[in-house]
Amino acid sequence: MVCPNGGRKLGEGSPCACGGGRRRAPRAGRKRALRSAAKRIGFATTLLFFAVAAVLGHYWLSDRADERRYATGEEIPYILDEITLPDGRPAHAITLFGREGDRITIRELDKSYLVVGGVARIEIPDGDWFDARPEGFVSAEITLIPLRTSEDGERRRLQPIRFEVQTPDSPLRVVSPAVDGVEVFTRVYSMSIVVVPGSRVLIDGRDYTFSVDRLGRVTAPVEVFARGENAVSIVVETPHHRQTRRDVTLFRKRQEINLELAQNTSFTSSRKTAAFSGIVDPQATLSVETPYTEDSLKVDANGFYSFTAQLEKYGMNAVRIRARMEGREDSLISFQVKYTPSFPEYTNRAWRLGKAEYEELLKYNALRTGQVYLCRGEVLEVVKWEPTTFIMDVGTAEEARLVAIENDSRLTSVAVGARYEAYSDGVGAYLYNSRSLPLLVTRYMEPPESP
């Protein structure tokens, strides 16, 4: 060995006076330091490995436990429902469960939902999954992965939500006419529809897009010819929905003599009379074939006519008018007018349906047609839904007295077992369990009596 300072040759392992002879000692120390650091890094790595494994194992066991609870029905992962939004769009509603104050995040929607009352409800319009014009798509497969975060920060991934969404059609609801094929008596008919605001609307080839109000309502005048069936085409295009096309049929009888009612004609009345007007061929002779007020029928030189019809019974009354002209087939218009008197007028005529009145009505129901009765009692059974007809017991605890009542009031449904006050007029008889009961129609009905 040679001294690094003086160049003097030394024996193997001999020290040098300058202190530069032994060089192995520092290298050995570094090796020991490196080995010690490596051990510490290895220990830390091992600890980290086990920590990560413990966390992953916790989540794996938690997921397996969740799957077992879902499989056995011990816990419901979510509830998926198909719904219709208030504006008519189809949608899916997802109900997720958690503790009060939990927050559920769905990254695919980029939204978070707070758990209130143990549930978080999410409503997603079906059109949100499609482009603005999805004509080329049939359906979409959806997968959502919810993440639930508790108030103390604990996170838990919930079971994925998977469902299929069909490409939705543009919503369209026809308000008027209420049914297809309705008969009309005017040259111009007022058609009403409801769509989603922002939709493009074509009715009978005309663009009514800018007539859609903020509630989606559209009213359009449609010309109806006296040729039988008139098909009116409606086209609606809502963004992110397929185009909807529908043909609505309006029927107007073929006529050789022009005869029509005014466009604003009302077919309901709260009085015993109803005024009507319209247009007839000035060369024709007009007559009213149902009860009307004498001297009320007038026709001017331009063919404008008017008259006052007499409504002789509650409910529906027929009105018929006929135009005649030599050499041509008569034109006839026949329609129904509903007479519903006011509440004070109707109820002031009511008889209380006691034992004597009931027995008389039971024997002579045809003679009591139109008489108003106050029926107070319990609903025993609903025997028909259109129109709603139910059996009511108007008797006492000692003696049952059953009547059949057809509901023509604003109270749209009745509850079996509940007690009501129904102001009703007699219309005939009803066969119930091989027994003939008085049949009445209620025009005004009070909600259930408090127990």
CATH architecture of 259-339: Sandwich (2.60)
Please give the Cα distance from 388 to 393 (Å, whole number): 16
pLDDT band at residue 419 using 50, 70 and 90 as cut-offs: very high
363-373 core/surface letters (b: 16 or more CB in 10 A; e: else): eebeebeebbb
Pairing state between β 173-176 and 200-203:
unpaired
pLDDT digits (tens, 9 = 90+) for 63-93: 554 445 444 444 578 899 999 999 999 999 9
Minimum mean pLDDT range among 155-164, 215-224, 314-323, 365-374: 365-374
Domain coordinates of the chain in residue numbers? 24-75, 78-166, 173-252, 259-339, 343-446
pLDDT digits (tens, 9 = 90+) for 275-315: 999 999 999 999 999 999 989 999 999 999 999 999 999 99
Determine what percent of the chain is predicted with pLDDT higher than 90.
63
Cα distance from N-terminal residue to C-terminal residue, the chain: 118
How is the chain split among helix, strand and coil, in percent rounded to 5? 15, 45, 40
Whether 157 has a pLDDT exceeding 50, the answer reads yes
Q: Which helix (H) or strand (E) holds 75?
A: none
Residue with structure tokens 């397996």?
A: 64
* Class level of CATH domain 173-252: mainly beta
Q: What secondary structure does DSSP assign to 140-181, as a single string?
A: EEEEE-EEEE-TTS-EEEPPPEEEEEEPPBPP-EEEESSSTT
Whether 16 has a pLDDT exceeding 60, the answer reads no
Range 427-433, long-range pairs (CB < 8 A, 24+ positions): 427/315, 427/369, 428/365, 428/366, 428/369, 429/365, 430/389, 430/404, 432/383, 432/391, 432/402, 432/404
Determine what percent of the chain is predicted with pLDDT higher than 70.
83
Please give the Cα distance from 243 to 245 (Å, whole number): 7
Domain 343-446 has CATH 2.40.50.140: yes
Q: Are 100 and 119 in contact (CB under 8 A)?
A: no
Q: Report the pLDDT value the prediction gives residue 134, as an integer from 0 to 100.
A: 86
Whether 146 has a pLDDT exceeding 70, the answer reads yes
Q: Report the pLDDT value the prediction gives residue 95, as an integer from 0 to 100.
A: 94
pLDDT digits (tens, 9 = 90+) for 240-269: 999 999 999 999 999 999 999 998 899 999
Whether 398 has a pLDDT exceeding 90, the answer reads no
pLDDT digits (tens, 9 = 90+) for 439-451: 999 999 987 665 4
Minimum mean pLDDT range among 162-176, 177-191, 311-325, 361-375: 361-375
Q: What are phi and psi of 98, to 5 degrees?
A: -175, -175
**What integer is the mean pLDDT of 177-192?**
91
Distances (CA, A) of 310 to 107, 255, 299, 342: 68, 26, 19, 17
Q: Are 316 and 337 in contact (CB under 8 A)?
A: yes
Please indicate whether the domains covering 78-166 and 259-339 agree at the CATH topology level: yes
Distances (CA, A) of 143 to 140, 184, 186, 437: 10, 51, 54, 59
Q: Quick one: which of 423, 257, 246 has its CA closest to 328?
A: 257
Q: Report the pLDDT value the prediction gives residue 368, as an integer from 0 to 100.
A: 78
pLDDT digits (tens, 9 = 90+) for 23-35: 554 566 666 666 6
Q: Are 251 and 229 in contact (CB under 8 A)?
A: yes
**What integer is the mean pLDDT of 41-53?**
66
- Measured from the Cβ of residue 31, the count of other Cβ atoms closer than 10 Å reads 10
Q: Which CATH number fits domain 78-166: 3.30.70, 2.60.40, 2.40.30, 3.60.21?
A: 2.60.40
Total residue count of the chain as it appears in this document: 451
Whether 237 has a pLDDT exceeding 60, the answer reads yes
